[in-house]
Amino acid sequence: MRKMGLTAIGVVVILIGALAVQPAYAAVIPNGSESMAISGFNGTNTGNDITAATTLLTLGGGATSITLGSFLDPYLGNPNNFCAAPGNGCSAAHAPGFLNVGDIIALSLKSFAVGGGIHAVVEHVTITDGAKVVDFDFTTEFTATLTPSTATTAGTITIDLIGIFSSDNTGSYLLGSTADMSITCTQATLGAAIGCGGSIETPSRIIITPAPASLLLLGAALAGLSLVQIRRRKVA
């Protein structure tokens, strides 16, 4: 019995020693900005033009190909630790980066509300490089820019989404960092094709700011509150 106890203790000591020899693994904070190249037909609910009445932007359905286009390095003062090789905006390979230009970017949603304030969404974005995958989840969407096209001038829609860096299947990165995705679509003139591009960043640089209409409503509410206070004082 005593011999069995000593044997068990010996096994535990060996296991502890083996673990101590293994290199300590530490996931890193994700830091990077990657551009998206969006090809294919893109449309709107207003005759596929960008107008003041546009309320929906659609990135061409299944015909649209979205790939990683380039990197911004450094990003927010630190190396872009997503890129696997120098070039295309990346100064060098930064560990544990494994993404490359041309990697496929898949969006679960390709239609976005235009205008109308802040919208709740469930947008899952995956960037795949061979067997390695990183994921982002976005829950908030709003229109940052809406400039209608005319017969002689260009129009623009910019959609911004905010969420988190949600996973990677290599365990290289810490999860939960803020993230943003921005999609900008431009039309040269009414009737012309709408071209789109975008970017994905973590940590996020986008700050939600109220649209002018929201500011007007807020101003009206504050003005109304002031009038109520003045009337109360007169009554008193």
Domain annotation covers residue 6: no
With a pLDDT cut of 70, the percent of the chain lying above it is 76
**215 in any annotated domain:** no
Q: Cβ(192)–Cβ(124) under 8 Å? A: no
Residue spans of the chain under pLDDT 70? 1-26, 61-63, 209-236
> Domain for residue 122, yes or no?
yes
Q: Is residue 191 part of a domain?
A: yes
Distance of alpha carbon 147 from alpha carbon 157, whole angstroms = 6
Q: Quick one: pLDDT at residue 60? A: 82
Query: In this structure, how many other beta carbons lie within 10 angstroms of the beta carbon of residue 104?
Result: 13
Q: What pLDDT, on a 0 to 100 scale, did the predictor assign at position 40?
A: 86
In-domain check, residue 55 = yes
| 174: containing domain | 28-210
Look up residue 113 and give its DSSP letter.
E
Place of tokens 């509150």: 225
Whether 166 maps to a domain, the answer reads yes
Closest CA to 116 of 145, 142, 155, 147: 142
Q: Is residue 223 part of a domain?
A: no
Residues 198 and 36: beta-carbon distance below 8 Å: yes
The whole-number pLDDT of residue 236 equals 54
Q: Which one, of 108, 159, 96, lies nearest residue 135 by Cα? A: 108
Q: Is residue 218 part of a domain?
A: no
- SS3 state at 146: strand
- The three-class DSSP label of residue 58 is strand
Please give the tally of structural domains in the chain. 1
